[in-house]
Amino acid sequence: MLSAAARRGVSPALCTRAQEVALSFSDNEAFLFAGYKHCTTRLPPSGLHTLTYNLNPICAGHVSLPPLQVVARPVYGGAALELVDNSEPRVVFVMPPPLAPPPAG
> Which residues form the domain of 50?
4-94
The string of pLDDT tens digits covering residues 16-75 is 778 888 989 888 888 887 777 888 888 888 788 787 888 889 999 999 888 888 888 887
pLDDT at 5 (0 to 100): 45
* pLDDT value for 93: 93
Model pLDDT, residue 60: 92
* Angle at CA of residue 90, ends 63 and 68, nearest 5°: 105
Please say whether the beta carbons of 37 and 24 come within 8 A.
Answer: yes
Residue 89 lies in a domain: yes
Q: Is residue 10 in a domain?
A: yes
Number of domains the chain contains: 1
Q: Is residue 88, in this structure, part of any structural domain at all?
A: yes
Is 104 inside any structural domain? Answer: no
| Residues whose CB is less than 8 angstroms from the CB of residue 15 and which lie 6 or more positions away in sequence, other chains included | 45, 46
3-class DSSP assignment, residue 47: coil
The CATH number of residue 88's host domain is: 2.60.40
Whether the per-residue pLDDT at 87 is higher than 70: the answer is yes
Instruction: Confirm whether 76 is domain-assigned.
Output: yes
The pLDDT value given to residue 62: 94
Question: Looking at residue 4, what is its pLDDT?
Answer: 47
